Amino acid sequence: MGEERIELRQRDRDRLKVLHEVERGHLKQVEAAQRLGLSPRQVRRLERRGEAEGDGGLVHRLRGRPSNRKIPTAVQERLMAEVRRRYADFGPTLASEKLAAQGLPVSRETLRKWMSEAGLWQARRWRVRTVHVWRERRAAFGELVMMDSSPFRWLEERGPQLQLIAMIDDATSRIWGRFTEQDSTVENLRTLQGWLQRYGRPLALYTDKGSVFHTTRPAQWAEQLAGEAARTQFTRALGELGIEAIPAHSPQAKGRIERLFGTLQDRLVKEMRLVQVHTLEHANQFLAEVFLPFWEQRFTRLPRQARDAHRPLGRDQRLEQILSVREPRRVGQDYTVRWQAQTWAIPRTEVRAGLRGARIEVERRLDGSRWARFRGSYLSLQACPVAPPRAATPFGLRPPGVAAKTPNQAKPKSKYLPPPDHPWRRTFLSGRKPDISILR
């Protein structure tokens, strides 16, 4: 008869060694219990099982048998059928939350195991990445806010491709954002306006070096006289609001908002798919009324300091004037200015001394209105009607309403032919050099 082979785990081997020392009298049962983390009574049980069954008596009685807490196969098949039907591309965490909302609770780790076995989930392979210095979160809400945009198929194939412009607080992970059709200066100013109206002015805003926030053009003469560097419309508005603009030199520097977009591209896309969001208006409504309150409850955290670092808007800080697009222009002799391929006129009732030929700032606000800023006061602008283009007259046809030309006007001009006695003609025929004094 061959020798019996017993497979012992590391814990079983440690117990076996301690029990052998107890058997030889090197340890007392109380000391063995302290070393193994068991009660003296359990140590005596293990000794009796070792005497009756040998070393195999230390093997756990449930080894090789299904657990008494195992989920029944029928329940597992029902849950996986629901996952295949609605949540096939969901992660285990999000899928377990949705199943629990349907009255089918299951832990995310159990669901992760089932989805991996079914080929619906693949564990991420960790790779060696560049090490970046860890930075502690800011202490209070409003000390530092990060802002960025993410172009993505947020509505998948149900609607147009949108941009999500989002802001996240560094201390609490509280967020605010809007879906837009394009990532422009105006849309970024509107997103900033939403944050300012809800919370106030943060101390600093952390952005990337995109064209909305950073410019490489040389400073204009007005900026040079003021001792300022070249600024975009967005950074100019931050300066007037007293908010420090901090540019990030790498995506890892603003990793919190980069990770935010990674989470939103997974969770938010699938949440909008479940309720069939397919328009820009519906997407912004769902984001503001459903997803942001959920994020506030689930993902925000308490800051180290309870104070709010946001500052209220001052009396002289009017958002409609600061959050605008401004361009310098010169007023014409007829009190008009040219801007964006259109002529704008200053009303006669608002004309004042020194306005003709002066340098002004044309201001386009977020509501679409346009104003002229002159010596600290605002003048309204009115769009001048565009002159109709000239109609082409091919093949001698004239546009309607235009009178026909007289015979003398219609006669083409004849080509000039010099007479035979012209000085130049006589000179060329004789072969002599021309006498310029004749022409004088």
Residue with more model confidence, 60 or 239: 239
Q: What is the pLDDT of residues 132-161, one digit of tens each?
A: 667 889 999 999 999 999 999 999 999 999
Instruction: Determine phi and psi for 291, rounding to 5 degrees.
Output: -75, -40
Q: What is the pLDDT of residues 215-227, one digit of tens each?
A: 878 877 676 777 7
Query: What percent of the chain has a predicted confidence (pLDDT) above 70?
Result: 83
Q: What is the mean pLDDT of the chain?
A: 84
Lowest-confidence range among 10-14, 293-297, 359-363, 403-407? 403-407
Q: Using pLDDT thresholds of 50, 70 and 90, give the confidence band for residue 192.
A: very high
Nearest one of 167, 350, 364 to 254, comparing CA atoms: 167
Tracing tokens 């409504």 back to the chain, one arrives at: 285
For the chain, give me the number of helices (H) and strands (E)? 16, 12
Q: pLDDT band for 392, please (50, 70, 90 cuts).
A: low
pLDDT value for 249: 84
Domain borders along the chain are 10-58, 73-117, 145-298, 323-383
User: Which residues lie below 8 Å from residue 162, measured CB to CB, with a gap of 6+?
Assistant: 151, 152, 154, 155, 179, 180, 181, 280, 283
What DSSP state is assigned to residue 288?
A: I
Question: Which phi and psi (to 5°) does residue 139 adopt?
Answer: -80, -35
Q: Which two tokens stand for residue 102?
A: 């349907």
CB 372 within 8 A of CB 337: yes
CATH class of the domain whose range is 145-298? alpha beta
Smallest Cα–Cα separation from 195: which of 220, 217, 174, 223? 174
**Contact (CB, 8 A) for 148 and 248:** no
Q: What average pLDDT does range 242-254 have in this prediction?
A: 88
The predicted model gives 245-260 an average pLDDT of 88
DSSP for residue 290: I
d(CA 316, CA 126): 53
Planar angle of CA 64, 16, 31, nearest 5 degrees: 125
Q: Which of 21-35, 185-199, 262-276 has the lowest mean pLDDT?
A: 21-35
DSSP 251: G
First vs last Cα of the chain: how many Å apart? 140
pLDDT digits (tens, 9 = 90+) for 23-50: 888 888 888 888 888 888 988 888 887 7
Tell me 128's DSSP state.
Answer: -
Q: How many CA atoms lie within 13 A of 285 on its CB side?
A: 8
The percent of residues in the chain predicted with pLDDT above 90, rounded, is: 40
Please, which residues have CB within 8 angstroms of residue 381's CB and are 6 or more apart in sequence?
337, 344, 345, 346, 362, 370, 371, 372
- Alpha carbon 432 to its chain centroid, in Å, reads 83
Summarised one tens digit per residue, pLDDT across range 309-320 is 999 988 888 999
Q: Between vectors from CA 121 to CA 119 and to CA 123, what angle results, nearest 5°?
A: 115
Average pLDDT (260-277) is: 94
**H-assigned helices in 380-422:** 407-410
The amino acid present at 369, given as its one-letter code, is S
Predicted confidence (pLDDT) at residue 305 exceeds the cutoff of 60: yes
Lowest mean pLDDT: which of 1-10, 15-24, 81-90, 116-125?
1-10
